Chains A and B, each alone.
Chain A
Amino acid sequence: MPVVATMTIIALMTGRGTQDLPFSNPEVLRGLLDNALAGEADGTLKEALMIADELETLLTRYRASVESGIDAYIEESSNRYTAAPELIERLEPIDHRRTRTLQAVIELRQSLFELLSDEQWEAVFN
């Protein structure tokens, strides 16, 4: 069954409506870090912004891989009959990629956790 539609279901960790969520939107995280840590003189802001950059790289890479996956899937599925079990099997690699991306986001959050003091963390996220 050449249903291209469901690819979009697995495509997103973030989506419209997540504009103000720091761990889904690196730009928001950068803004929070800039506002809260601008006065710090020990290079904490610079290191924290590097973590935000890593988050952006991670999410950008994930989106690019999903996009190419969708293109390949559309191309293939338009030429042949595929039923649900086969589709589910084909979606598994992207499911795994998605899970790994979320785990990587958690690791980046942990790096930020270790970098910032309790007070700095509260200043950023409160």
Chain B
Amino acid sequence: MMRDYHREQAGLNRREFLVGLGAVSLMIVSGCATFRRGSELDAAFADLDAQLDRASGADTRQLESIAKRIRARSQALIDTQETFVTTFNDKASRRSVTAEELQQLVSDYEVQRQTLRNDLLHLQDELHAALPPDVWPDVLEVLNRKSQSIAARNISET
């Protein structure tokens, strides 16, 4: 019996796509602590774009939707943190700004940050549910490797 190489290839590509999409989406979440442009987060966004470009067919539409929402929330979280750190330092350096004003800034930021962070956690649940069970271990392996690496580097650099 002749092997259907085309079909095998399609199957491999689909699995590769799912693993890649899942891992990249979650890696984006892990990259949120870093806000320097040109970081591995930008690379992750580029990888995600490439994965989304390759996506086709109804079975990947849900994953695409989740990945796009993860990306949007991740970017919002990055922007929020960048704005906070800059604003906090700017205000703290101005003598006319009171401690109460700084407390309010921190309070507002924490609410915003935790809301975005929790949204991301819920989106990760959605992604987990949408991924075929046999793909998840591969995604997890990539995720754990990436996130430990990012966490270690961010801590050492701060």
Contacts and interface: CB of A to CB of B under 8 A. Distances in A.
B46 interface: no
Nearest to B103: A106
A66 B154 CA distance: 11
Interface stretch (B8-16, B50-58, B82-90): B82-90
Interface residues of B, number: 49
B120 to A, nearest CB: 6
Nearest to B124: A3
Nearest to A77: B144
B65 interface: no
A7 B117 CA distance: 10
A9 B99 contact: no
Interface string B59-93: 00000000000000000010001100110110011
Given A15-B154, A16-B157, A6 B94 contact: no
A31 to B, nearest CB: 14
Nearest to A18: B85
B150 interface: yes
A66 B152 CA distance: 11
A69 to B, nearest CB: 10
A8 B154 contact: yes
A110 interface: yes
B96 to A, nearest CB: 10
Contacts of A1: 124-125, 128
A4 B122 CA distance: 14
B99 A109 contact: yes
Interface of A: 1-18, 21-24, 59, 63, 66-67, 70, 74, 78, 83-84, 87-88, 91, 95, 98-99, 102-103, 105-107, 109-110, 113, 118, 121-122, 125
